[in-house]
A and B are shown apart, each in its own frame.
Chain A
């Protein structure tokens, strides 16, 4: 299987550009007023992309590293190449993206009642950009996709959003842009560092092998570097991500590394979003149409955490693990405490929308995302295999349950045109199936054992505990608060008698709604019961990142026999 799949050439390019091709087909061949055809075609096309992306599951887990490699000349003057390649983490995120694409387009059939053609075109383009982000192996290409992904989302919120859609869309766009422009400065500095002979001469081949993960990828990286150096029009630097990561191992710790870390971190922290850069999120979620919220929460937030995993940790390992740069605390402490504040703060802010009389469910889910992404960041900066594994799995799990919750809120909004908690009550009497699926997803969000979030939260916190019991303790407080408002929300919306006559005639789920909810419930159970089938994908890239940041930590499968393990590593 794996042998066959790895031979499919340009698989990543196909998955990336297939949605864009679909968008072109719609633009050219479909008439504006045939909305019915357009939505069926789009959903089918998303289904096709999802089916093609399943070939990525043939990723060779025992080999690990970057696979499905592609390499073409692109902009030789600056050494930017069209290079694609994914590791296990990116494979999972891409498959999640293509799956949520199908569900999002299926959920829009009735919700979107104007300008359907443009809507579905933008949905397809958004997917192309996001898959491009996950599959880039060239930082320049990455940045391009990263920025382009803003544009379709901007229009999705700005055209099909709620009352304050323009405010929310502009806030989303500008806020994210501020961060990524600062990141661009960092990217440029990194690019010039790849031309710095003092540094590049120190990069060990072993580091490249470790981060590339397999010999084919390692060869690609070294070929890229020698091509850049031997450019006939004058030597250039390279944007190859793996090479930049390897450069991180020889980058001296100091102000420059900390500044670079912060430049990248700002771009990604706004995207995650981490406290205190999160205020664009509730606005964007509340105003976005259902499918927009689904993609935003399910996928776009992961661009931030994925960025930390792919860039900040391996490229600036010393800054990531630093605990003394600012005197009594370091960069790592800053990240950890912002995550912890985010976990508790997000949970408390979410709770406000059940505490107050006319709370908006969507805003509640939005703030719960802030809390959840805090757990991802905590796991990442725990900087041990358990924490990072948990964080990576939590990215997927958050994509599942937050997408599901937004879809569920969308279902009730289509029927009642309101999302105010106090408008509902006793819904389980009229919509039993809806109530059941909502409960399954609320329980997932809380982290009930045998459902997916339990595994990832447990692993993240286990990792954090290894680093410091206090961190895990504060995170646990946030998780308890999450359970508190989720159960309370469920009680107020679903239990008791129907006291609002408008809710009496509500219809239960339709076949189409079942079709887009059931896959998420199944996934949640699958990951909750047998997470290993997913964790196998992430094991080798996670271990490589941990090893890059902490060379003396005993990482699974990478212990050299006879080596002494220092005291610090075992804590």
Chain B
């Protein structure tokens, strides 16, 4: 189990060098944070800054030229490009210290403070758990309420679990219910509606449209055929009669216009 821990310890020790300040210029060979080991500006070549017309923190030649001539480029504040890329963030301890003692000492000062704090913690660990292992119990009894609170991490996890984790889970259930019932219900509903209307159309087609077709067929087949069958008597005079009737009808249709106008004239004279 100690192997992964050792790997992490080594990484933690040397990982800090990525992005070290100018105090370690002899390693990084640069005034900029990290120098050759720099990952601070790792994504700079990708991020377009419309205010400076350049990628990342660089400014385009055009903006640089404008700054050199002291005339700010219209539309993008040249001052924001200059000294402090993070803007004026109010009181800043490191910055005010830097004003007094200069950047080099400031950096070492903070490095030393961090090392002292870390060293103190290590020392306490050695005293409490290696040299005098009975001490933790005594102090835990003496500061019982504080000990319990810190043992339970001030109940932050419980509070967080109740306030956020549980509520997010509820929300997640709600969202899925909405998705599967309402949204997918709408989709399936649209499908069902289409199927229903297709059924209605199908029934209409079968019984109404096709019904009319069949009705005509039946009419022809059932009724008209009887009429025609009955008319086929085999007697020559009957056929002659039909022929004469046909002739009369044909003449009537052919001269229908004349007949109608004659009729109109007759009616106009006599009534």
A: residues with CB less than 8 A from B are 171, 174-175, 276, 279-280, 345, 348-349, 351-352, 355-356, 384-386, 389, 455, 458-459, 462, 466, 481, 484, 531-532, 535, 553-554, 556, 559, 561, 564-567, 569-570
Contact = CB atoms under 8 A, between A and B. Distances in A.
B49 to A, nearest CB: 9
Contacts of A570: 50-51, 75-76
A458 B46 CA distance: 11
B238 interface: no
B43 interface: yes
A298 B179 CA distance: 23
Contacts of B53: 554, 559, 565
B48 A385 contact: yes
A556 B183 contact: no
Q: Is the interface of A mostly helix, strand, loop or mixed?
A: helix
Interface of B: 43, 45-48, 50-51, 53, 55, 60, 62, 73-76, 168-169, 171-173, 175-176, 179, 183-184, 187, 191
Contacts of B73: 565
A565 to B, nearest CB: 4
Nearest to B169: A355
A569 B50 contact: yes
A370 B155 CA distance: 35
B175 A352 contact: yes
Nearest to A385: B48
B45 to A, nearest CB: 6
Contact of A559 (B45, B55, B62): B62
Contacts, number: 79
Contact of A386 (B48, B51, B75, B169): B48
Given A462-B47, A564-B74, A565-B75, 9 more contacts: A280-B187, A345-B175, A352-B175, A355-B173, A386-B46, A554-B50, A564-B75, A565-B50, A565-B53
B75 A279 contact: no
Contacts of B60: 559
Contacts of B168: 348, 351, 481, 484
B76 A349 contact: no
Contacts of B172: 348-349, 351-352, 355
A224 B191 CA distance: 43
B190 to A, nearest CB: 9
B50 A349 contact: no
B75 A569 contact: yes
A386 B54 CA distance: 12
Contacts of A556: 48, 55
A544 B179 CA distance: 38
23 contacts: A171-B187, A171-B191, A175-B187, A276-B183, A279-B183, A349-B179, A351-B169, A352-B173, A352-B175, A385-B48, A385-B50, A455-B46, A462-B47, A466-B50, A481-B168, A532-B45, A535-B46, A556-B55, A565-B50, A565-B53, A565-B73, A567-B75, A570-B51
Contacts of A559: 53, 60, 62
A281 B75 CA distance: 46
Contacts of B191: 171, 174
A538 to B, nearest CB: 11
B74 A352 contact: no
Which 4 pairs of residues, A with B, have the shortest CB-CB distance?
A352-B176, A351-B172, A348-B175, A565-B75
Contacts of A174: 191
Chain B CB within 10 A, most for which of A171, A352, A458: A352
A459 B55 contact: no
Contacts of A553: 50
A418 B267 CA distance: 96
Contacts of A455: 43, 46
A553 B51 CA distance: 10
Contacts of A565: 50, 53, 73-76
A569 B55 CA distance: 16
Contacts of B74: 564-565
Contact of B47 (A276, A279, A386, A481): A386
Contact of B175 (A349, A356, A385, A554): A349
A271 to B, nearest CB: 15
A400 B53 CA distance: 32
A345 B178 CA distance: 10
Contacts of A535: 46
